[in-house]
Amino acid sequence: MLSRNYLVALCLLLALFTLPVAAQNSDQLQVAQIGPPLQRAEPPAPDASAEALEERGDQLQAEKNYLDAIDYHRAALRKKPGSASLLNKIGMSELLLRRLREARKNFEQALKADSNYANAYVNLGVVYYQDRNYSKSIKFYDKAIALQPDAAVFYNNRGAAYFNKKQYDKASLDYTKAIELDPDIFEPSSRAGVQASIPSPEDRARYAYVLAKIYAKAGENERSLHYLRKAMEDGYKDIKNVYKDNEFSALRKDPRFAELMAAKPLAIPE
């Protein structure tokens, strides 16, 4: 169970901008700011099974105790050499600690162990995304999508890279596909998390407007209105396009749309 303080911090973070998602196995872990180190766990028992060590490592990682998680996953790896899953999990903790070089090495080793391991490709993409090498990150996202075309978070991450390259049409296509696969992908409560570190207010405003268009086209009026408000609060300069963009044709008939536009939410200063 996540602590209340962590959830509050996460919500504040999402209110400003969102971060790329790194992929584990069945779960998608959100890359969030690292808090103070937790109390160290007991060291791995030498006689523990690989499965028990991996399970304990998973628990520690979920608790954000990344250093101890690495210790347990490495101990499990010694008993299961060449496990792509364990190498990926170690890389995940390194990534969450912002140790990008170490994370990259682990993800590369995971791919040497299993060249079809889609999550390791995605995580390598996140490493290069964090280094602002968006073109290279897209190449890894492409490989992951080719292997697993039904993973919403993969399209999310690639859309984030396209957005930061200011290739907004491609970003919009990927975000649309992500929402088709998981309508809750951009919500803070989504297990898949959200993507796209959007640094400037101008870009955040455009980002919110793009999401508003996508949700409006999908008939998700409430979510569309939410992102329209965010676009206005972030000072989106072309908000008047909402009256002519075809994606908003149905939303414009919603009384809440008229109320929002009449209210004219003021841009929130930095």
Q: pLDDT over 90 for what percent of the chain? A: 66
Residue 22 has a pLDDT of 60
Examine the pLDDT at 224 and tell me if it is beyond 80: yes
Q: Is residue 90 part of a domain?
A: yes
At 119-141, the pLDDT tens digits run 999 999 999 999 999 999 999 99
Three-state SS string over 145-167 comes to HHHCCCCHHHHHHHHHHHHHCCC
d(CA 188, CA 52): 31
Establish if 185 belongs to a structural domain.
no
C-alpha–C-alpha distance, residues 101 and 104, integer Å: 5
13 or 183, greater pLDDT? 183
Residue 245 is predicted with a pLDDT of: 94
Mean pLDDT in the chain? 83
User: Does 268 reside within a domain?
Assistant: no
pTM tops 0.85, yes or no: no
Residue 167 domain-assigned (yes or no): no
pLDDT of residue 20: 55
> What per-residue confidence (pLDDT) applies to 186?
75
What is the token pair recorded at 92?
């995940």
Q: Which domain holds residue 53?
A: 4-149
Q: Is residue 198 part of a domain?
A: no
What is the number of other CB atoms lying within 10 angstroms of the CB of residue 36? 5
**DSSP letter at 243?**
G
Rounded CA-CA distance 30/259 in Å is 34
H or E stretch including 29?
strand 28-30
pLDDT at 266: 66
Q: Map residue 96 onto helix, strand or coil.
A: helix
For the segment 234-262, what is each residue's pLDDT rounded down to a tens digit? 889 899 999 999 999 999 999 999 999 99
Q: Coil, strand or helix: which one is 70?
A: helix
CATH code, 68: 1.25.40.10
> What digits encode the pLDDT tens for the residues 45-96?
999 999 999 999 999 999 999 999 999 999 999 999 999 999 999 999 999 9
Would the pLDDT of 153 be above 60? yes
- Per DSSP, helices labelled H in the chain are 4-16, 50-62, 66-79, 84-96, 100-113, 118-130, 134-147, 152-164, 168-181, 201-217, 221-233, 255-263
For position 265, what pLDDT does the model report? 75
Q: Examine residue 69 and state whether it is found in any structural domain, yes or no.
A: yes
One-letter amino acid identity for 150?
A: D
Tens of pLDDT, residue by residue over 96-118, are 999 999 999 999 999 999 999 99
pLDDT value at 158 more than 90: yes
Residue 26 belongs to a domain: yes
Do 58 and 27 touch, CB atoms closer than 8 A? Answer: no
Tokens of 49: 């099974």
221-233 vs 201-217: helix axis angle to the nearest 10? 160
pLDDT band, residue 39 (cuts 50/70/90): low
The yes-or-no verdict on residue 10 having pLDDT over 90 is no
Is 238 within a domain?
Answer: no
For residue 20 the two structure tokens come to 């790329």
Distances (CA, A) of 96 to 62, 118, 121, 210, 227: 11, 19, 16, 28, 28
Total structural domains within the chain: 1
Instruction: Report whether pLDDT(169) > 80.
Output: yes
189 pLDDT above the threshold of 90: no
Rounded Cα distance between 267 and 56, Å, is 46
210 to each of 50, 125, 229, how far by Cα in Å?
46, 23, 12
Contact 127, 88 (CB under 8 A): no
Q: What is the pLDDT of residue 193?
A: 32
Contacts of 192 (CB under 8 A, 6+ apart): 21, 28, 152, 153, 156, 182, 184, 185
